[in-house]
Structure 1
Amino acid sequence: MAIPAEHNPPSRKRRIAGDRSVSAQIFEFIRDAIVGMEFQPGQMIPETALAEQFGVSRTPVREALIKLSNIGFVDVLPQRGTYVSRFSMEKILEARFIREALELAVISSVAEQADDALIQACEHILHEQQLAADNDNALAFQKLDDHFHQTLASRTQYPRVAQLIESEKAHMDRVRNLSLHISGQYRHVLEQHRAILEAVKSHDPVAARQAMSVHMQDVYKVLTLIPQEHPEYFTDE
């Protein structure tokens, strides 16, 4: 399958904030562009254009690309350049399996010990997620989706759990973004999140686990539709 020609990002200059490292900010920008499909699978990442856009040398851009390579978002090909990784259904399904196991354990634990602060935090996230859905802002909706799950995971007594969920879901992020454009998907996700939160508010670990299982299984069903609609985004392996 042919690799598309290099695509230049928008030419406007981007401001570097002083509160975080340059490479971290460039990493976030490129990651969002990949998840939001501005940079599509198989497309070359324009190192020079990105460095010019941010007004920096190519070093922090390369540092960001190395980090993206480590989580499977880009492929670095010697003497050829850096390209957005194509989807691997094998890796997506493996990540979904691992994430489901972790999420079910998390929600069972959290439901037993949830306090008012956690519930209020989650309710605020779901309110913001509804606004993102109303504005058809898939990237914002997905970030709030992640925030909801990370907020729950952070309430376990095991700090690495949230990190593991974050690392595993990377393989699913772009496909999840595409899935949000399927009719009714915003509503489905919000309904499932609300069911999860209601079980947490009731301190019912069995109901919470069931609600999370329904949510994870729905994610699986939607993921299987994407290869049919966009076969060009997937590896031939």
Structure 2
Amino acid sequence: MKKNISSLSEEVYQHLLDQIFSNQLKPNEKIAESKIAAEFNTSRTPIREAMRKLQSQGLINIYPNRHAEVASFTTKEIQDIGTLRISLDLLSIKLAALYGSRADFIYLQDLANQCLQAFYNNNGYLRRKLDTDFHMELCRISQNELLYQMQKDLSLKIQFILLHYEFPIENEEEHLKQHLTIIDCIMNNEIDKAKKISIQHLMEFYHLDIKDPEEFFMKQENDF
């Protein structure tokens, strides 16, 4: 049975996404439409539809009448993502404290521990995935669909950055343990403490240069 364009496009999308996140396609690498067309025995229409979706997610760049290539990020772009990530996580923490159940937080603890174990096992791919999963789950608990969708869109860029760019952290083990501390604080209703640790956690990772970050982000919250 012949597949329709929409179905083929989704298959191509997943194929390209897998290649990007398995490091088979690297930043700035051109995407060979003719090779993909041969692999899927299809015209270029579903391929271009898939690439437009990846472009909208910030993972590839399309140059009309020339070529498409895997995206790359400047230091400034990565830091902009980090700044937005902090703002979204702070809101997630507040809403998770309001709507989260004990079962939700136990599952978060499990993700945090799995992430830490992946670090101990030197499994960089799994550690990166679980790190992203932790922040996505924290957002899901917020029960705010719009916030969750914003985090979901951002998470693909973050996974890409985690895979392709080095972020030296002085003590990575302690950095990952901060996930567990954040959960403990939320469960103990120490929301401001949870937010401060989250700010420190992400400031360190993204190497952001913001003076008095706690005042900046927490005052920013109060201004809304």
The residue correspondences of 1:133-148 to structure 2 (distance < 5 A) are 133-148=119-134
Separation (CA, whole Å) in 1 of partners of 2:24 and 2:181: 33
Residue identity opposite 2:92 in structure 1: V
Task: Show the counterpart of 1:160.
Answer: 146
Inter-CA distance 202–25: structure 2 relative to 1 (3 Å threshold): farther
Task: Show the counterpart of 1:214.
Answer: 200
How many residues are treated as equivalent by the alignment?
Answer: 204
Inter-CA distance 206–91: structure 2 relative to 1 (3 Å threshold): same
Separation (CA, whole Å) in 2 of partners of 1:38 and 1:170: 16
Deviation track 1:167-214 (CA, whole Å, cap 9, x = no partner) reads 234444333224567477652442121111221222221121112111
Separation (CA, whole Å) in 1 of partners of 2:202 and 2:37: 39
Q: Per-residue deviation at 1:65?
A: 1.0
Question: Contact 1:112–1:205 at 8 Å: present in 2 too?
Answer: no
Separation (CA, whole Å) in 1 of partners of 2:191 and 2:45: 48
Tell me, yes or no, if structure 1 residue 97 matches structure 2 residue 83. yes
Tell me, yes or no, if structure 1 residue 151 matches structure 2 residue 137. yes
Inter-CA distance 86–117: structure 2 relative to 1 (3 Å threshold): same
Residue identity opposite 2:122 in structure 1: D
Tell me, yes or no, if structure 1 residue 195 matches structure 2 residue 162. no
Separation (CA, whole Å) in 1 of partners of 2:201 and 2:30: 34
2:72 is matched with which residue: 86, 96, 104?
Answer: 86
Separation (CA, whole Å) in 1 of partners of 2:95 and 2:18: 31
| Structure 2 residue matching 1:150: 3-state secondary structure | helix
| Structure 2 residue matching 1:120: 3-state secondary structure | helix
Inter-CA distance 71–130: structure 2 relative to 1 (3 Å threshold): same
Separation (CA, whole Å) in 1 of partners of 2:201 and 2:11: 31
Separation (CA, whole Å) in 1 of partners of 2:155 and 2:19: 17
Question: Contact 1:99–1:169 at 8 Å: present in 2 too?
Answer: no
Q: Per-residue deviation at 1:164?
A: 1.0
Over the matched positions of the two proteins, sequence identity in percent amounts to 24
Task: Show the counterpart of 1:4.
Answer: none
Deviation track 1:94-114 (CA, whole Å, cap 9, x = no partner) reads 222222111112112312443
Separation (CA, whole Å) in 2 of partners of 1:126 and 1:97: 22
What stretches of structure 2 of length at least 5 have no aligned partner? 1-5, 210-224
Q: Per-residue deviation at 1:222?
A: 8.3
TM-score computed with the length of structure 2 as normaliser: 0.76
Moved more, 129-138 or 205-214: 129-138
Instruction: Provide runs of 4+ in structure 1 moved above 6 Å.
Output: none
Moved more, 108-117 or 93-102: 108-117
Q: Per-residue deviation at 1:44?
A: 0.5
Question: Contact 2:139–2:148 at 8 Å: present in 1 too?
Answer: yes
Q: Per-residue deviation at 1:139?
A: 2.9
Q: Per-residue deviation at 1:39?
A: 1.5
TM-score computed with the length of structure 1 as normaliser: 0.72
Task: Show the counterpart of 2:106.
Answer: 120
Inter-CA distance 43–97: structure 2 relative to 1 (3 Å threshold): same
Separation (CA, whole Å) in 1 of partners of 2:58 and 2:171: 26
Question: Contact 1:96–1:169 at 8 Å: present in 2 too?
Answer: no
Relative to its length, the structure with more helix (as a share) is 2
Residue identity opposite 1:80 in structure 2: R
| Structure 2 residue matching 1:142: 3-state secondary structure | helix
What stretches of structure 1 of length at least 5 have no aligned partner? 1-19, 224-237
Residue identity opposite 1:106 in structure 2: S
CA RMSD of aligned residues (A): 2.9
Tell me, yes or no, if structure 1 residue 39 matches structure 2 residue 25. yes
Residue identity opposite 2:154 in structure 1: E
